[in-house]
Amino acid sequence: MRIGELSQRSGVPIPTIKYYLRERLLGPGTATAANQADYGEDHVRRLRLIRALLEVGGVSVATARDVIDSLGRTDVQPHDLLGIAHHAVMPARRPDRGTAAWARARAEAERFAATRGWHVDPRTIAFDQLADVLDAVRSLDVTEILDNLDAYADRAQEVARFEVESVIERRDPVRMLELVVLGTVLGEALFGALRLLAHEHESALQLGEAAPLRGEFPKFPTELAT
Protein backbone atom coordinates (compact mmCIF):
# COMPACT_ATOMS: atom_id res chain seq x y z
CA MET A 1 0.00 0.00 0.00
CA ARG A 2 1.04 3.63 -0.46
CA ILE A 3 1.83 5.92 2.47
CA GLY A 4 -1.63 7.52 2.22
CA GLU A 5 -3.35 4.21 2.80
CA LEU A 6 -0.89 3.31 5.55
CA SER A 7 -1.84 6.56 7.26
CA GLN A 8 -5.53 5.80 6.92
CA ARG A 9 -5.20 2.20 8.11
CA SER A 10 -3.08 3.07 11.13
CA GLY A 11 -4.66 6.42 12.02
CA VAL A 12 -1.19 8.00 12.06
CA PRO A 13 -0.80 11.25 10.02
CA ILE A 14 1.60 11.12 7.03
CA PRO A 15 4.09 13.66 8.47
CA THR A 16 4.29 11.58 11.66
CA ILE A 17 4.92 8.42 9.63
CA LYS A 18 7.72 10.26 7.81
CA TYR A 19 9.16 11.30 11.16
CA TYR A 20 9.16 7.69 12.38
CA LEU A 21 10.87 6.62 9.13
CA ARG A 22 13.56 9.27 9.62
CA GLU A 23 14.04 8.25 13.26
CA ARG A 24 14.26 4.60 12.19
CA LEU A 25 11.38 3.60 14.42
CA LEU A 26 9.71 2.32 11.28
CA GLY A 27 11.60 0.36 8.62
CA PRO A 28 11.52 1.65 5.03
CA GLY A 29 8.94 0.36 2.54
CA THR A 30 9.86 -1.28 -0.74
CA ALA A 31 10.88 1.43 -3.21
CA THR A 32 8.57 1.40 -6.27
CA ALA A 33 9.59 4.69 -7.89
CA ALA A 34 11.95 7.61 -7.26
CA ASN A 35 9.82 9.07 -4.49
CA GLN A 36 7.44 6.23 -3.74
CA ALA A 37 7.44 3.18 -1.55
CA ASP A 38 5.13 0.27 -0.85
CA TYR A 39 4.16 -0.65 2.69
CA GLY A 40 2.73 -3.87 4.09
CA GLU A 41 0.80 -5.26 7.05
CA ASP A 42 4.03 -5.34 9.08
CA HIS A 43 4.12 -1.56 8.83
CA VAL A 44 0.56 -1.24 10.11
CA ARG A 45 1.37 -3.47 13.07
CA ARG A 46 4.65 -1.69 13.75
CA LEU A 47 2.88 1.69 13.79
CA ARG A 48 0.47 0.37 16.43
CA LEU A 49 3.43 -0.75 18.53
CA ILE A 50 5.15 2.65 18.19
CA ARG A 51 1.99 4.48 19.25
CA ALA A 52 1.46 2.17 22.22
CA LEU A 53 5.02 2.67 23.44
CA LEU A 54 5.06 6.44 22.96
CA GLU A 55 1.55 7.32 23.99
CA VAL A 56 0.34 4.62 26.36
CA GLY A 57 3.71 3.72 27.83
CA GLY A 58 5.06 7.29 27.82
CA VAL A 59 8.35 5.97 26.41
CA SER A 60 10.87 8.31 24.69
CA VAL A 61 11.56 8.00 20.94
CA ALA A 62 15.13 6.83 21.56
CA THR A 63 14.00 4.14 24.00
CA ALA A 64 11.16 3.05 21.74
CA ARG A 65 13.77 2.46 19.02
CA ASP A 66 15.79 0.25 21.39
CA VAL A 67 12.68 -1.70 22.33
CA ILE A 68 11.65 -2.20 18.71
CA ASP A 69 15.17 -3.19 17.66
CA SER A 70 15.28 -5.77 20.43
CA LEU A 71 12.03 -7.38 19.28
CA GLY A 72 13.43 -7.97 15.81
CA ARG A 73 16.64 -9.61 16.95
CA THR A 74 17.32 -13.20 17.90
CA ASP A 75 20.83 -12.61 19.20
CA VAL A 76 19.84 -10.32 22.06
CA GLN A 77 20.87 -11.67 25.46
CA PRO A 78 17.94 -12.44 27.76
CA HIS A 79 19.27 -10.22 30.51
CA ASP A 80 19.81 -7.36 28.08
CA LEU A 81 16.21 -7.72 27.02
CA LEU A 82 15.01 -7.36 30.59
CA GLY A 83 17.28 -4.32 30.84
CA ILE A 84 15.78 -2.78 27.70
CA ALA A 85 12.25 -3.36 28.98
CA HIS A 86 13.22 -1.81 32.30
CA HIS A 87 14.79 1.24 30.68
CA ALA A 88 11.56 1.75 28.76
CA VAL A 89 9.47 2.31 31.89
CA MET A 90 11.86 4.72 33.58
CA PRO A 91 11.59 8.51 33.31
CA ALA A 92 13.75 9.91 30.51
CA ARG A 93 15.30 12.56 32.73
CA ARG A 94 17.59 11.47 35.54
CA PRO A 95 18.15 13.31 38.81
CA ASP A 96 21.62 14.19 40.06
CA ARG A 97 23.11 10.90 41.19
CA GLY A 98 26.46 12.30 42.26
CA THR A 99 25.51 13.42 45.77
CA ALA A 100 26.35 11.74 49.07
CA ALA A 101 22.65 11.57 49.90
CA TRP A 102 21.98 9.66 46.69
CA ALA A 103 24.82 7.22 47.39
CA ARG A 104 23.26 6.51 50.81
CA ALA A 105 19.86 5.99 49.18
CA ARG A 106 21.44 3.59 46.66
CA ALA A 107 23.00 1.52 49.46
CA GLU A 108 19.69 1.58 51.32
CA ALA A 109 17.91 0.26 48.20
CA GLU A 110 20.31 -2.70 48.00
CA ARG A 111 19.94 -3.44 51.72
CA PHE A 112 16.17 -3.36 51.39
CA ALA A 113 16.24 -5.96 48.60
CA ALA A 114 18.58 -8.08 50.72
CA THR A 115 16.24 -7.99 53.73
CA ARG A 116 13.47 -9.25 51.47
CA GLY A 117 15.69 -12.06 50.20
CA TRP A 118 15.48 -10.77 46.63
CA HIS A 119 18.18 -12.07 44.31
CA VAL A 120 18.97 -9.06 42.17
CA ASP A 121 22.18 -8.08 40.46
CA PRO A 122 23.56 -5.07 42.37
CA ARG A 123 24.13 -3.26 39.08
CA THR A 124 20.51 -3.39 37.94
CA ILE A 125 19.14 0.03 37.02
CA ALA A 126 15.95 -0.56 39.02
CA PHE A 127 18.12 0.03 42.11
CA ASP A 128 18.96 3.47 40.72
CA GLN A 129 15.28 4.25 40.31
CA LEU A 130 14.50 3.05 43.83
CA ALA A 131 17.36 5.21 45.12
CA ASP A 132 15.92 8.21 43.21
CA VAL A 133 12.62 7.77 45.04
CA LEU A 134 14.18 7.20 48.48
CA ASP A 135 16.37 10.26 47.99
CA ALA A 136 13.43 12.42 46.85
CA VAL A 137 11.18 11.25 49.69
CA ARG A 138 13.81 12.23 52.26
CA SER A 139 14.77 15.55 50.70
CA LEU A 140 11.07 16.50 50.42
CA ASP A 141 10.38 15.30 53.96
CA VAL A 142 7.45 13.04 53.07
CA THR A 143 8.89 9.97 54.77
CA GLU A 144 5.36 8.83 55.67
CA ILE A 145 5.44 7.24 52.22
CA LEU A 146 8.15 4.87 53.41
CA ASP A 147 5.99 3.61 56.30
CA ASN A 148 4.36 1.53 53.59
CA LEU A 149 7.58 0.33 51.98
CA ASP A 150 7.03 -3.32 52.86
CA ALA A 151 3.38 -3.15 51.87
CA TYR A 152 4.39 -1.73 48.47
CA ALA A 153 7.06 -4.41 48.07
CA ASP A 154 4.62 -7.23 48.93
CA ARG A 155 2.20 -6.12 46.21
CA ALA A 156 4.98 -5.42 43.70
CA GLN A 157 6.33 -8.93 44.25
CA GLU A 158 2.88 -10.47 43.78
CA VAL A 159 2.42 -8.55 40.54
CA ALA A 160 5.90 -9.52 39.33
CA ARG A 161 5.18 -13.15 40.20
CA PHE A 162 2.10 -13.52 38.03
CA GLU A 163 3.69 -11.45 35.26
CA VAL A 164 6.74 -13.73 35.13
CA GLU A 165 4.52 -16.84 35.34
CA SER A 166 2.54 -15.53 32.42
CA VAL A 167 5.74 -15.16 30.33
CA ILE A 168 7.04 -18.61 31.29
CA GLU A 169 3.78 -20.20 30.14
CA ARG A 170 4.50 -19.14 26.54
CA ARG A 171 6.40 -21.69 24.55
CA ASP A 172 7.19 -19.55 21.50
CA PRO A 173 10.38 -17.54 22.12
CA VAL A 174 9.33 -14.64 19.84
CA ARG A 175 6.06 -14.39 21.75
CA MET A 176 7.96 -14.45 25.05
CA LEU A 177 10.14 -11.58 23.89
CA GLU A 178 7.09 -9.52 22.97
CA LEU A 179 5.40 -10.31 26.24
CA VAL A 180 8.43 -9.36 28.35
CA VAL A 181 8.77 -5.98 26.68
CA LEU A 182 5.11 -5.10 26.16
CA GLY A 183 4.09 -6.68 29.46
CA THR A 184 6.60 -4.51 31.30
CA VAL A 185 5.46 -1.29 29.59
CA LEU A 186 1.72 -1.94 29.31
CA GLY A 187 1.56 -3.73 32.68
CA GLU A 188 2.91 -0.58 34.33
CA ALA A 189 0.31 1.63 32.60
CA LEU A 190 -2.42 -0.88 33.45
CA PHE A 191 -1.53 -1.06 37.13
CA GLY A 192 -1.18 2.73 37.21
CA ALA A 193 -4.66 3.32 35.79
CA LEU A 194 -6.24 0.79 38.17
CA ARG A 195 -4.46 2.35 41.15
CA LEU A 196 -5.90 5.78 40.27
CA LEU A 197 -9.42 4.40 39.91
CA ALA A 198 -9.02 2.57 43.22
CA HIS A 199 -7.83 5.81 44.88
CA GLU A 200 -11.12 7.42 44.04
CA HIS A 201 -13.10 4.40 45.23
CA GLU A 202 -11.12 3.94 48.43
CA SER A 203 -11.38 7.58 49.42
CA ALA A 204 -15.16 7.38 49.04
CA LEU A 205 -15.26 4.07 50.91
CA GLN A 206 -12.99 4.99 53.79
CA LEU A 207 -14.98 8.14 54.45
CA GLY A 208 -18.19 6.15 54.53
CA GLU A 209 -19.74 7.93 51.58
CA ALA A 210 -22.66 6.32 49.81
CA ALA A 211 -22.45 5.46 46.13
CA PRO A 212 -22.07 8.76 44.28
CA LEU A 213 -25.15 10.00 42.50
CA ARG A 214 -25.05 10.95 38.88
CA GLY A 215 -22.97 14.11 38.55
CA GLU A 216 -21.69 13.94 42.12
CA PHE A 217 -18.14 13.10 43.08
CA PRO A 218 -17.05 10.93 45.94
CA LYS A 219 -15.65 13.28 48.58
CA PHE A 220 -11.91 13.40 48.89
CA PRO A 221 -10.37 13.16 52.38
CA THR A 222 -8.94 16.68 52.40
CA GLU A 223 -12.47 18.00 52.83
CA LEU A 224 -12.53 16.58 56.33
CA ALA A 225 -9.68 18.67 57.52
CA THR A 226 -10.47 22.03 55.94
81 touches its own copies (CB under 8 A): yes
48 touches its own copies (CB under 8 A): yes
Residue count of the chain = 226
Work out which of 4, 28, 40, 173 binds its own copies, going by CB under 8 A. Answer: 173
Residues 43 and 29: beta-carbon distance below 8 Å: yes
64 touches its own copies (CB under 8 A): no
* Alpha-helical segments (H) within 73-119: 78-88, 100-115
Q: Measured from the CB atom, is 31 or 156 closer to its own copies?
A: 156
Q: Measured from the CB atom, is 37 or 186 closer to its own copies?
A: 186
The nearest distance, CB 24 to its own copies, in angstroms, is 19
Residues 133 and 153: beta-carbon distance below 8 Å: no
Rounded distance, CA 2 to CA 218, Å? Answer: 50
Using CB under 8 A as the binding criterion, the count of chain residues that bind its own copies stands at 113
19 touches its own copies (CB under 8 A): no
Work out which of 14, 62, 103, 145 binds its own copies, going by CB under 8 A. Answer: 145
The nearest distance, CB 37 to its own copies, in angstroms, is 23
For 30, 38, 96, the CA distances from 34, given in Å and listed in that order, are: 11, 12, 49
The nearest distance, CB 35 to its own copies, in angstroms, is 27
